[in-house]
Structure 1
Amino acid sequence: MTKSSTPLGEPLGRVDGRAKVTGQAKYAAEFSEPGLLHGVVVSGTIARGRIKKIDASEALALPGVLHVFTHENRPHVAWFDRSYRDEDAPSGSPFRPLYDDEILFSGQPVALVVAQTLELALHAASLVRVEYKTQPHETELRSRRQEAYAPGKDKGGFEPPPKPRGHADKAFERAAVKVDAEYSTPVEHHNPMEMHASTVLHGNDGVLTVHDKTQGVQNCQKYLSRVFNLPKDGVRVLSPFVGGAFGSGLRPQYQLFLAVLAARELKRSVRVALTRQQMFTFGHRPETVQRVALGASSDGTLQAIIHEAVAETSRFEDYVEIIVNWSGLLYQCDNVRLDYKLVALDNYTPLDMRAPGAVVGVYALECAMDELAHKAGIDPLELRLKNYAERDQNEDKPFSSKELRACYRQGAERFGWAGRNPTPRSMRDGKQLIGWGLATGIWEAMQQQASARAVLSIDGRLTVGSATSDIGTGTYTVMTQIAADTLGVPVEDVTFSLGDSLLPTSPVEGGSWTVSSVGSAVKLACEKVRARVFELARKVEGSPLAKASLEEVTFAGGRIHLSGEPSRSVSITDAMRHGGVLSLEEEALAIPNLAKQNQYTRCAHSAVFVEVKVDEALGTVRVTRVVSAIAGGRVLNPQTARSQILGGIVWGLGMALQEESAMDPKLGRFMNHNLAEYHVPVNADVGELDVLFVEEHDDVVNPLGAKGLGEIGIVGVAAAIANAIFHATGKRVRDLPITLDKVL
């Protein structure tokens, strides 16, 4: 079979696809060994209080039950002396499972039952009796808004919103056209298909091999080393495949701690896997209540922007998101005031969820912009173009690149926006009201420090590795393409390794920075190998490259060609064979060029156009068409990139119409803690989705020019749907999700 070359910018199917569809890919709860024990978490049933008594006698009486760990008998570990924080932890004191008798949130793990089989452990867990002394709890954001406080730099280094510019309140009062509205978003839970699990294999030498569902194996390795006071080589964390995470795997979750605790104490291998219900007991997108006030002149020119947000956090950590900053960045306005506050509740600490902060903050802003357009009698697209920001006024910086105008233009053309009748309830399809809505999206283009190793063998095989993760985004595939493109070898001859704490250092996979960060390191490592093999090629007897420089050659098809005379070349294998080299190995550290990057604001942008059909009698909403135009720098693989945007659009559909974790305030517990009642979009809910990538060149963001696409796909989608529903019905719903009762 002829080997193919798939250069960057061309579609390539997932290199890990075959392993996944054939079952060869193994996930955290699928690793095993003879004698593996199973741990089941016993979850607390109150939101706040103390444990009066735990009776595990019935469970321990069952043959095959080895231990029931509680706060009363757990072994001592270093963490209990000091609240070690993992790399992704917010400020405060992290939750420590089985630390004492205090209950901080409903569903808190109060015991771990360890048995010889999973079925036995589950049954034994049901026999553990816990008595509590309850205390008054508060889990409702709105009822505690008066207690909101502003986190500052003393709260873990959080940067407060930009200082006010101009005189926003005075300008708002003088404005000819005004919108002053409150928007709210509910708690959402990540709910990836693969639930959180940790399999801890206990070696005879005491070394632990941990298979964990995580977005950062090295973050977990450092966490375990510090918590259990282990030498660095005393624990290895592996996560080659992750069945979705969306941010839920950024922090080590409590099952990891419990599994390692049990394995070390029993000196046996242990697996602890959480149930779907327990997936609702840690981390979530925080509930928010936001006020957005916009003032404009009669022609739609923005005169004032006021954006105030209140979000929830736990009582033991200050979790913060950048919710309001986007409102001072996205549009040109000289009078802006932004404010962000927290309310501490008896919930677990919220956790980053796809496009944290932006997805809720931009929702409120873009709905308010639509309301302003309607009040001013201006087309929503025209309003955005009139107030287009050519410069970041928050930080008084230019953008490294910004093709948002092209997103608006190309998206509107593809969607047919010019045919929109601006009057609400004016467009119909029989008994269905048709609505067209628009919103803008924005997300940061970030690069983190990362390392990679590249090894080129004499047979032409290239092996590259970095300790990053692939949570389904296509990291395996794109890194393979970067390596193959840099050294000019077929993608079939490249193997990329990830998800191993022993590999070169990488940040957690999140923030849409993996391609930017790890990809830059892969490129740099392969460039170092390229330079070495080129020097060998120059020394081959009769080499046509003898007098050439590295800048005068091209690597392609496993050969090094003179750029002006491609027929004159030396094969990579011949160069290595002649030099007597069996392999070439290089490791590289890619460090962001902050001196250059910090001169600019670096963002990806989007324009989202949506069509909805609303049943006039029933109030049911169907999203029939979405066009998302993306400006995300250089697109390295259109196939995996499109997949990321499609996933973001579908999630935005769920955010707008379905997703909500319903809290019972009396119990302080999320009640719809399953996928039967926590609704997410299914195939029947999804209409025609169209993704287009706008050409955008950026030589500032990173050496690859790629901005990352994991987050931008969801930003703006919920707002576009909400705006389309208003256009269809004439009714403005500002409280997500927009369920049919609210439409009616």
Structure 2
Amino acid sequence: MSATVKPFSVPLEAPMGLPMDRVDGHAKVTGEAQYAADFHSADLTYGWVISSPIAHGRIVDIDARAALALPGVLLVLSHLNRPELASYDESYTDADAAEGSPFRPLYNDRILYSGQPVAMVVAKTLEQARMAAAQVHIEYRSEPHQTDLNAQLGQAHKAPAELPKPRGDVSAGLARSSAKVEVEYQTPAEHHNPMEPHASTVVMQPDGGLLIYDKTQGTQNCRTYLEQVFGLEPGSVRVVAHFVGGAFGSGLRPQYQLTLAVMAALKLNRSVRLALTRQQMFTFGYRPPTVQRLTLGSDADGKLQAVKHQAIAQTSRFEDFTEHLVEWSGMLYHCDSVELDYQLVPLDVFTPLDMRAPGATSGVFALECAMDELAYAAGICPLQLRLRNYTERNQNEDKPYSSKALRECYSEGAERFGWARRTPEPRSMRDGHELLGWGVATGVWEAMQQKASARVVLDGEGRLHVSSATTDIGTGTYTVLTQIAAAAMGVDSDAVHVLIGDSSLPTAPLQGGSFTISSVGSAVQQACTALQKQLLEAAQKIEDSPFADVSRDQVVFIDGRLRLKADPTKQLALSEIVRSSGSGQMQAQVDAEPDSKKREPYATASHSAVFVEVRVDEALGIVRVSRVVSAIAAGRVVNPKTARSQILGGVVWGIGMALQEETQMDHDLGRFMNHSFAEYHVPVHADMGEIEVIFVDEQDTIVNALGSKGVGEIGLVGVAAAIANAVYHATGKRIRQLPITLDKLL
């Protein structure tokens, strides 16, 4: 795998824009990093969850006598004996909640979906808890269930999503179109499957408080949730997640293991650890299956005349999960006649959950495949069709983009890939027994910024301590915040120590949506600026100070020193300034938020162009992705090394989405069948070809002070579509239902 990186022009002393190794890398590869299920306490007990085998019905009886008679067993927790909760009704929520009534573990005897936790055994050892769980006898009364989206499409209702209003006249646009496509695409359920399973270790504190190590993307979200549900005093709960072994959205909401572990800890007044098995990782949120119908029309030159995008997705019976599924079809290309529709089908399943690039991954897949089909219908190169419909405005919002280097993504990606050598006819390129296919797709993701806080503390040794409650789910947050702080403060990155993943630290949003660096990074940058102001004021008070009468624009913070611009020999070490203040340290905390005055007139988004080569065995139908070029426009790339890793991960996931990933449901049982890594297929090293990442130069002074748009999502969007388009070019067969498996091709 290779990468072409264009570092932004920055001073040598500022590490932003330059590659930097992960500051947490050593801790992770040596085992020093501790995750949610790694923490111990003297009185620690262990939980094991019992899951429902039926999809809909009631619990008739729970007989726990045999389990309780076993050595070491302390508790069999169920709806019959759970502790009373202050707010276990529909009034509580969490920061990533869907519309409706959140799932309440052990609430009553009702079974809402297969795999629902119905009881939990707590014992002195994990082995005792697991053995005892097998001795708990539960009698159920099963009721008819429905888990098949396709069988219930007629039962769909409007999704509670804020869709752009229809514009223009779609019918008239289609009537005057010389090329039209009307197609349906289906995407399956996918599960997040991070390397670290969900786990919670609840440690009882001497003062009655709770110290909780949790697998989460939002420590403060979990803390607030627990305080609401259990009626706990504010400040009595502390949630820690210093290291998170991947999440991809699965940790945005507090998952049921957290609730159950706290229930058991409060009932026993002992510390409890509950870790879910890999199979139980399939018993909560997932990317929802979709059925999407697109109708596109263009004139003879390929200019879009009409776009109609209708989507139906799956949700649970107790919540209406929505994501940004169809909006992309109204903003990615210029078209004056657009109609969007989004509906949900409630089923006897758990509520879906945000999953990397939620909505865009599925919605842009359908749009970009339909655009490819329109290109063939109009007899136009798929890349040229996209360029002919290029837009500098987001027509959904009727705003220009703050920056948009998508044209450069197309041109640089096409040149590096060699797109000009493509022959247009399907099945026209081959290498021996393999059919070659080249495909292209566009990616898009919104560039957001949330309110966030950060604290910076400079000690007498010149070390800068940076803290915020945000988490690092493997994205490189520790490293990038280190770079931002070092550059903003004018110190070496080795002097910066970042502390995150703790609900007691300054407020931060959930880690997700590609907005962590734009949000928390902006807060860190502003906090450093505030601290510099304090340092200059302190330096001015030092006896015989060369800075007594200078203003902020007359000095520079560089190499851990305060220097006079006009005479760099006049300088003071920042550590010396701190010591002179007599306090031992100086600090600043800032609450940062988006500059609405600057952002409001503009639409903000990151974009990409993905070029893919596939090789298809003509006899066996086996598809291999041999080359990918992903060209990314995401504003300022703070660390090209970790950003490249994010794009590589997105491409790998896109390969899995296109060719392998599918959580299969046995609708007779209402149960996911392939709930393990043995049967839920994801790409491995042997599946990888050459992947090249290009970051195009994109300056943006509007999106935020850093000019950063984030890269967590954009690397995935469009990849599956580019692969599907390449498969058609190779074989002449259009597969509209993911994943593209050999049985569908043959």
Coarse TM-score class (shorter-chain normalised): over 0.9
Q: Return the offset for 1:565.
A: 4.1
Q: 2:62 aligns with which of 36, 39, 54?
A: 54
| Contact kept in structure 1, 2:660 and 2:682, CA below 8 Å | yes
Q: Deviations over 1:538-586 (max 9, x none)?
A: 3444444344321232211111223354344222123233443421111
Q: How does 1:436-475 map to 2 (within 5 A)?
A: 436-475=438-477
User: Where does residue 324 of structure 1 map in the other structure?
Assistant: 326
Q: How does 1:336-735 map to 2 (within 5 A)?
A: 336-735=338-737
Q: Deviations over 1:411-455 (max 9, x none)?
A: 001111111111111111100101000000000000000001110
Partner Cα distance (1:26, 1:650) in 2 = 27
Name the aligned partner's letter for residue 213 of structure 1. K
Bigger shift: residues 552-561 or 716-725: 552-561
| Contact kept in structure 1, 2:393 and 2:399, CA below 8 Å | yes
Partner Cα distance (2:133, 2:724) in 1 = 45
The percent of aligned pairs where both chains have the same amino acid is 62
2:135 paired with 1:127: yes
Query: How high is the TM-score relative to the length of structure 2?
Result: 0.97
2:107 paired with 1:105: no
In structure 1, the gaps of 5 or more residues are 153-157
Q: Return the offset for 1:174.
A: 2.6
Q: Deviations over 1:484-526 (max 9, x none)?
A: 1111111111111011110000011010000000001111111
Q: 2:189 aligns with which of 177, 183, 187?
A: 187
| Contact kept in structure 2, 1:90 and 1:317, CA below 8 Å | yes
User: Where does residue 66 of structure 1 map in the other structure?
Assistant: 74
Q: Return the offset for 1:535.
A: 2.1
User: Where does residue 8 of structure 1 map in the other structure?
Assistant: 16
2:145 paired with 1:137: yes
User: Where does residue 280 of structure 2 map in the other structure?
Assistant: 278
Partner Cα distance (2:175, 2:715) in 1 = 36
Partner Cα distance (2:582, 2:666) in 1 = 71
| Contact kept in structure 1, 2:448 and 2:513, CA below 8 Å | yes
Partner Cα distance (2:129, 2:211) in 1 = 22
Q: Deviations over 1:363-422 (max 9, x none)?
A: 000001111111111111111000001111111111011000000010001111111111
2:101 paired with 1:93: yes
Number of equivalences: 735
Name the aligned partner's letter for residue 372 of structure 2. D
Partner Cα distance (2:562, 2:299) in 1 = 62
Matched residue SS, 1:338: strand
Bigger shift: residues 384-393 or 546-555: 546-555
| Contact kept in structure 2, 1:614 and 1:622, CA below 8 Å | yes
Partner Cα distance (2:566, 2:478) in 1 = 33
Name the aligned partner's letter for residue 472 of structure 2. D
Q: Deviations over 1:155-179 (max 9, x none)?
A: xxx42x1111111122113311001
Partner Cα distance (1:703, 1:687) in 2 = 37
Per the alignment, do residues 238 and 443 of structure 1 end up closer, same or farther by CA in structure 2, a change over 3 Å counting? same
2:219 paired with 1:217: yes
2:301 paired with 1:299: yes
Partner Cα distance (1:418, 1:343) in 2 = 44
Partner Cα distance (1:438, 1:602) in 2 = 23
Matched residue SS, 2:152: helix
Per the alignment, do residues 69 and 278 of structure 1 end up closer, same or farther by CA in structure 2, a change over 3 Å counting? same
Name the aligned partner's letter for residue 205 of structure 2. G
Bigger shift: residues 445-454 or 168-177: 168-177
Matched residue SS, 1:633: coil
Q: 1:289 aligns with which of 275, 288, 291?
A: 291
Name the aligned partner's letter for residue 337 of structure 2. N
Partner Cα distance (1:350, 1:564) in 2 = 60
Partner Cα distance (1:578, 1:503) in 2 = 28
Q: Deviations over 1:645-698 (max 9, x none)?
A: 110000000000000000000000000000000000000001111001011111
User: Where does residue 123 of structure 2 map in the other structure?
Assistant: 115
Bigger shift: residues 578-587 or 462-471: 578-587
Partner Cα distance (1:673, 1:229) in 2 = 35
Q: Return the offset for 1:725.
A: 0.4
Partner Cα distance (1:538, 1:10) in 2 = 34
User: Where does residue 36 of structure 2 map in the other structure?
Assistant: 28
Q: Return the offset for 1:112.
A: 0.5
Partner Cα distance (2:568, 2:632) in 1 = 36
| Contact kept in structure 1, 2:176 and 2:299, CA below 8 Å | no
Partner Cα distance (2:648, 2:89) in 1 = 46
Matched residue SS, 2:139: strand
Name the aligned partner's letter for residue 640 of structure 1. T
What RMSD in Å do the two structures reach over aligned CA positions?
1.2
Q: Return the offset for 1:141.
A: 0.6
Per the alignment, do residues 567 and 626 of structure 1 end up closer, same or farther by CA in structure 2, a change over 3 Å counting? farther
Matched residue SS, 1:78: coil
User: Where does residue 158 of structure 2 map in the other structure?
Assistant: 150
2:225 paired with 1:247: no
Partner Cα distance (1:35, 1:218) in 2 = 26
Q: Return the offset for 1:598.
A: 1.8
| Contact kept in structure 1, 2:71 and 2:128, CA below 8 Å | no
Q: Return the offset for 1:81.
A: 4.3
Per the alignment, do residues 687 and 573 of structure 1 end up closer, same or farther by CA in structure 2, a change over 3 Å counting? same
| Contact kept in structure 2, 1:634 and 1:704, CA below 8 Å | yes
Q: Deviations over 1:588-607 (max 9, x none)?
A: 00011123212111000000
2:32 paired with 1:17: no
| Contact kept in structure 2, 1:6 and 1:491, CA below 8 Å | no
Matched residue SS, 2:235: helix
Partner Cα distance (1:386, 1:568) in 2 = 58
Partner Cα distance (2:584, 2:81) in 1 = 56
Matched residue SS, 1:80: coil
User: Where does residue 155 of structure 1 map in the other structure?
Assistant: none
Q: Deviations over 1:29-88 (max 9, x none)?
A: 000112210000000000001111111111111011011011111121113344411111
Per the alignment, do residues 31 and 551 of structure 1 end up closer, same or farther by CA in structure 2, a change over 3 Å counting? same
Q: Return the offset for 1:717.
A: 0.1
Query: How high is the TM-score relative to the length of structure 1?
Result: 0.97
| Contact kept in structure 2, 1:553 and 1:563, CA below 8 Å | yes
Partner Cα distance (1:146, 1:619) in 2 = 35
| Contact kept in structure 2, 1:5 and 1:491, CA below 8 Å | no
User: Where does residue 9 of structure 2 map in the other structure?
Assistant: none
| Contact kept in structure 1, 2:90 and 2:101, CA below 8 Å | no
| Contact kept in structure 2, 1:209 and 1:235, CA below 8 Å | yes
Q: Deviations over 1:15-39 (max 9, x none)?
A: 0111111111000000011221000
Name the aligned partner's letter for residue 391 of structure 1. R
Partner Cα distance (1:231, 1:515) in 2 = 31
Per the alignment, do residues 578 and 32 of structure 1 end up closer, same or farther by CA in structure 2, a change over 3 Å counting? closer
